[in-house]
Amino acid sequence: MELLKVDINNAGYSKGEAVIRDIDFSLREGELVGLIGPNGSGKSTTIKAIMGLLPYLQGEIVFGGPQKHYGYIPEQPIFYDELTVWEHLELAASAYALSRREFQERALELLKRFRLHDVKHQLPVGFSKGMQQKVMLIIAFLIDPDVFIVDEPFVGLDPRATKDFLQLLETARRQGAGVLMSTHVLDTAEKICSSFVLMANGKLVTKGNLEEIREQSKLPGASLLDCFSLLLGDD
């Protein structure tokens, strides 16, 4: 099943001033699509377009899963200053109409997995970046969406939390979820992604799985980094 279809002719913050253009790709059940590109390539703007946060969009974004909603994990964690971790989780559960029993079971399980159970009644605004990122992960997995949209998830995570995160993503994919992940960590992306979307200068450069990317680059057996460096024209 196709969970997300992206077909952007052009989009930006005002009409006539497109920041991204000619971008099309899809996300199916169980897939993890890596959104890759240098700084300023348009990855974050594309994510904003998918989430309906751009003032101007010519094209179509279609969520096709059973629930037709997504979980977003931002690069920079966002919190309400006076809400505790538990209160943030309660707010998310309320927004997605989770039952009290389902909420408590899932929340406690996730808090224990990410080792935040003992601080669930503290304010996350005072946490380290890594701990804040863990809270963002917990909120996204709590609502059990069809699609996960993840922006640079590995920043600030320690190795154990990274492993927990990847295991949860794998479980969600086996259950039919799809993941769109923007990341600069290409060695990890090469290992975990089903396919890739490469962007540069606000446009799609190429897309496909690793073997297809290698064929397009004419670099059989090459790493993802080497293929994308060639496709981007880097020295």
Pick the CATH number of 1-65 from 3.40.50.150, 3.30.1540.20, 3.40.50.300, 3.30.9.10: 3.40.50.300
Mean pLDDT confidence for 181-205: 93
Could you give the CA distance from residue 19 to residue 234 in angstroms, rounded to a whole number? 22
The predicted-structure confidence for 218-229, as pLDDT tens digits, reads as follows 999 999 999 999
> Which has the closest alpha carbon to 48: 199, 152, 149?
149
Start-end of H helices in 146-209: 159-174, 186-192
Q: DSSP readout, 60-75?
A: EEEE-SSS--EEEE-S
Which contiguous run of DSSP H or E holds residue 87?
A: helix 85-95
Could you give the CA distance from residue 148 to residue 7 in angstroms, rounded to a whole number? 18
Tell me what pLDDT residue 172 has: 92
Tell me what pLDDT residue 235 has: 54
Q: Label residue 154 by pLDDT band (50, 70, 90).
A: confident
Please answer whether residues 64 and 3 qualify as being in contact, where contact means their C-beta atoms are separated by less than 8 angstroms.
yes
- Outline which parts of the chain fall under CATH 3.40.50.300: 1-65, 67-179
| Structure tokens, 118 | 């003992």
pLDDT at 65 exceeding the cut of 90 = no
CATH fourth-level superfamily of 67-179: P-loop containing nucleotide triphosphate hydrolases (3.40.50.300)
Q: Label residue 67 by pLDDT band (50, 70, 90).
A: confident
The predicted-structure confidence for 79-133, as pLDDT tens digits, reads as follows 999 999 999 999 999 999 899 999 999 999 999 999 999 999 999 999 998 899 9
Please answer whether residues 170 and 95 qualify as being in contact, where contact means their C-beta atoms are separated by less than 8 angstroms.
no
The predicted-structure confidence for 20-42, as pLDDT tens digits, reads as follows 999 999 999 999 999 999 988 99
| Structure tokens, 41 | 């390539």
| Structure tokens, 109 | 């399980």
> Which has the closest alpha carbon to 136: 200, 194, 72?
72
CB-side neighbour CA atoms (13 Å) of 74: 9
The amino acid sitting at 47 is I
The predicted model scores a pTM of 0.91
Q: What whole-number percentage of the chain has pLDDT above 90?
A: 79
